[in-house]
């Protein structure tokens, strides 16, 4: 309790999933939370029980982020923590689900399976993936730094993934976006060190949320590949975020914490 007492935290994409759980734990630890998501009603539904502020906006849009930070600026003159969490999986459309089913059947028959998703990817799908994750992280960080640098200190936490260092077939855009976030975080950590603003990433493994729900057919296989033999739960990420946001992590910057059940061991 009270590990974040008196701090103000903005968490993007926090109407559900990992962001929602991070907001919950931050509140319990004494922070005031600002919850962003695409849709105001969903953001408000998450913010209300936490007595937080809801701000709607697409993090990949400059105009939305500007508008969002105007509201944040009216609400608070300080920002101690930013969690760039908003993200999309690119796994939830029917075409991707159909491909996964066909591939699973072909693998079971012992056939070689080609993955043509990069050949078939549209410009729009590539731009959207990079836009939400990488551009969104940049836009929110740039705006947040203008508030954070008024005081000495702060913590920025960027949501990476094990896919930022592991190459998943069918995931070139997602992996590129998450790898970009890790690089962005390291450079920014160096840049902000003189201002005592720490910048770190979390690289989750497979966690049970709406984003991973479409992976239902692959789940048993993923669990057999995981030394701890299970998907993680949102709290496995939320507690890592509490640590990085708190003063307990005062010597941590430019680092990646990867709660992943041992699925991937070389972050």
Ligand X SMILES: NC(=O)c1ccc[n+]([C@@H]2O[C@H](COP(=O)([O-])OP(=O)(O)OC[C@H]3O[C@@H](n4cnc5c(N)ncnc54)[C@H](O)[C@@H]3O)[C@@H](O)[C@H]2O)c1
Nearest approach, Cβ of residue 89 and ligand X (Å): 6
Q: Is 16 in the site for ligand X (CB under 6 A)?
A: yes
Using DSSP's 3-state secondary structure scheme, residue 115 falls into: coil
User: Taking Cα atoms as reference points, which of 87, 84, 75 lies closest to residue 22?
Assistant: 84
Q: Which of 75, 166, 174, 243 is catalytic?
A: 174
Buried b (16+ CB within 10 A) or exposed e, 65-98: beebbebbeeeeeebbbbbbbbbbbbbeeeeeee
Q: Is 24 in the site for ligand X (CB under 6 A)?
A: no
User: Taking Cα atoms as reference points, which of 105, 95, 115, 129 lies closest to residue 214?
Assistant: 95
Cα separation, 129 vs 114, in Å, equals: 22
Q: Which stretch binds ligand X (CB under 6 A): 66-74, 79-87, 101-109, 219-227?
A: 79-87
Q: Is 47 in the site for ligand X (CB under 6 A)?
A: no
Radius of gyration of the chain (CA): 18
Q: Is 212 in the site for ligand X (CB under 6 A)?
A: yes
Q: Is 174 a catalytic residue?
A: yes
Give the H or E element holding residue 54. Answer: strand 53-56
User: Taking Cα atoms as reference points, which of 162, 157, 178 lies closest to residue 242?
Assistant: 157
Q: Which stretch binds ligand X (CB under 6 A): 9-17, 104-112, 142-150, 244-252?
A: 9-17
Location of structure tokens 């949501």: 159
Using DSSP's 3-state secondary structure scheme, residue 233 falls into: coil
Binding mask of the shown chain, residues 214 to 253, with x at each position contacting ligand X by CB under 6 A: ----------------------------------------
Nearest approach, Cβ of residue 262 and ligand X (Å): 15
Q: Which stretch binds ligand X (CB under 6 A): 2-10, 15-23, 25-33, 193-201?
A: 15-23
Q: Is 33 in the site for ligand X (CB under 6 A)?
A: no
Nearest approach, Cβ of residue 146 and ligand X (Å): 20
Nearest approach, Cβ of residue 206 and ligand X (Å): 5
Nearest approach, Cβ of residue 237 and ligand X (Å): 7
Using DSSP's 3-state secondary structure scheme, residue 87 falls into: coil
Residue from 52, 90, 170, 204 touching ligand X (CB under 6 A): that is 204
Question: What are the backbone angles phi and psi of residue 200, rounded to the nearest 5°?
Answer: -135, 165
* Structure tokens that stand for 214 in this block: 């479409």
Q: Is 85 in the site for ligand X (CB under 6 A)?
A: yes
Q: Is 37 in the site for ligand X (CB under 6 A)?
A: yes
Interface with ligand X by CB under 6 A: which residues? 12-13, 15-19, 36-38, 58-60, 85-88, 132, 136, 159, 161, 204, 206-207, 209-212
């Amino acid at each position: 309790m009270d590990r974040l007492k008196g701090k103000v935290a903005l968490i993007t994409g926090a109407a559900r999933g990992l962001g929602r759980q991070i907001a919950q734990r931050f509140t319990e630890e004494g922070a005031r939370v600002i919850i962003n998501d695409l849709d105001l009603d969903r953001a408000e539904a998450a913010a209300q029980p936490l007595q937080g502020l809801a701000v709607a906006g697409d993090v990949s849009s400059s105009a939305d982020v500007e508008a969002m930070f105007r509201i944040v600026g009216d609400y608070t003159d300080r920002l101690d923590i930013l969690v760039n969490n908003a993200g999309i999986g690119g796994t939830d459309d029917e075409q991707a689900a159909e491909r996964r089913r066909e591939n699973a059947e072909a693998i079971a028959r012992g056939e070689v399976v080609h993955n043509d998703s990069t050949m078939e990817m549209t410009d729009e799908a590539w731009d959207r993936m990079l836009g939400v994750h990488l551009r969104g992280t940049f836009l929110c960080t740039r705006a947040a730094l203008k508030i954070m640098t008024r005081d000495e200190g702060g913590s920025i936490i960027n949501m990476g993934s094990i896919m930022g260092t592991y190459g998943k077939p069918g995931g070139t855009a997602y992996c590129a976006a998450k790898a970009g976030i890790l690089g962005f975080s390291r450079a920014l950590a160096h840049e902000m060190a003189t201002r005592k603003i720490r910048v770190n990433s979390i690289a989750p493994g497979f966690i049970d949320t709406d984003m991973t729900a479409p992976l239902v057919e692959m789940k048993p296989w993923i669990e057999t590949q995981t030394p701890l033999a299970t998907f993680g739960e949102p709290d496995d990420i939320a507690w890592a975020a509490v640590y990085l946001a708190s003063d307990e992590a005062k010597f941590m910057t430019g680092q990646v914490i990867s709660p992943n059940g041992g699925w991937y061991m070389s972050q």
